[in-house]
Structure formats: structure tokens, C-alpha cells
Amino acid sequence: MQRILILGCPGSGKSTLAQQVANITLLPLIHLDQYYWLPNWIEPNRETWQHKVLELANTQQWVMDGNYGNCLFNYRLQRADAVVFLKLPRLLCLWRVVKRILGNYGHIRPDMAKNCPERFDWAFLQYVWQYKTRREPHYLQTIHLIGTQQNQKLNNSNKHIFILTNKQKIANFLNEISLLYR
């Protein structure tokens, strides 16, 4: 596995898992949030962002975390040889986001862009709450569809899909990765 895409609800642990996987595999780590946000939480224009995502996805090796379903989502899924989806309970994700905001308020997290300090944002909390019903089904369906299509073309040899639903499954996944990269 040379390109590992990590997806899931905010607060599910994408950035933490991506860091752990990058440490084990020694693959370059890409936190999409670091590339998306301009200083002071300014969003880039769509064309610039798509160009950047294309550039990042076209590199040969990476551990990439971040959903950004409206920007080359299918292309990133196709480029990845492993897709990890963190499917954790909504309340746990919301709790983690609130805890993260309170613990880092006013500070810039290592997985975020420069000059984007942690802030309280009701719209983001709503996004987290609604993710399970508005985003997750589409993402899982697309992951399954692309994985199935590619595996049929490649005789089941290249696409690895992991749906991780709890801490134990995440720990097992990390153990598997550790064994592969010994």
C-alpha cells in the first residue's frame, strides 16, 4: 500500500490515525486541511483547490486525510490503493470536536493551515451532527462502488477497503499495517 486515504466524520480521528499510519509506513503525510484553508479561515477558489488536490493525489506515495467530497473525491478514491473509513458514533465525534475546540481554542493545531486558530463555529458543529445522515451514506456508497469496479478490473489485487467502527478495529488495523511494514 503506497497511497492510503483516510475518511470519516470530523472528530472521528482521521488526522490522528493518518499520523499514526504515516509514522508506521514512513509514507508522506497529507492533511488536506493544511492545504485547503488560507490564513484566517479563507476558502480558496474552486479551481485553485482542485489543482492542488490533483497535484497531491498524483504523487506516488501518501497517507491523505480529509473528506472534501466536492473536490475530486472519486479521483482520490481511485488513486488510493487503500481506503480507510472511520464510521464512529455521531455523539462520540461531536464530543471529540467540542473537546478539541475547548482544548485548542485560539491555537493552531498541527493538522491545520497556518493562521487558522481553533474557533467555535456553529455551522461546523451542525455539519458534524448531520454528517451521519447527509454525508456518510454517499461516501460509503461511492467507496463501495469504486472499490468493486477497480477490484473487478484488477482481479481483486489492488484495492483495500477498511470500514473501522470502534477503537478495537482501529487498533487491529494499525497492527495489520505494522506487520505489513516491518
Measured over all CA atoms, what is the biggest interatomic distance in the chain, rounded to whole angstroms?
Answer: 50
Of the CA atoms within 13 Å of residue 103, those in its CB half-sphere come to 7
Exposed / middle / buried, residue 101 (Cβ in 10 Å: 0-12, 13-18, 19+)? middle
Number of helices and strands (H, E) in the chain?
8, 5
More confident residue, 49 or 145: 49
Q: Which CATH superfamily is domain 3-180 in?
A: P-loop containing nucleotide triphosphate hydrolases (3.40.50.300)
- Percent of the chain exceeding pLDDT 90 equals 86
Per residue in 15-44, pLDDT (tens digit) is 999 999 999 999 999 999 999 999 999 999
Beta-sheet strands, E only, within 17-107:
29-31, 62-65, 82-86
**Residue ranges of domains in the chain:** 3-180
Confidence of residue 146 (pLDDT cuts 50, 70, 90): confident
Cell of 99: 473537546
CA dihedral 24→28→33→39, nearest 10 degrees, is: 130
Residue-wise pLDDT for 75-107, tens only, equals 999 999 999 999 999 999 999 999 999 999 999
156 pLDDT more than 90: no
pTM confidence score: 0.92
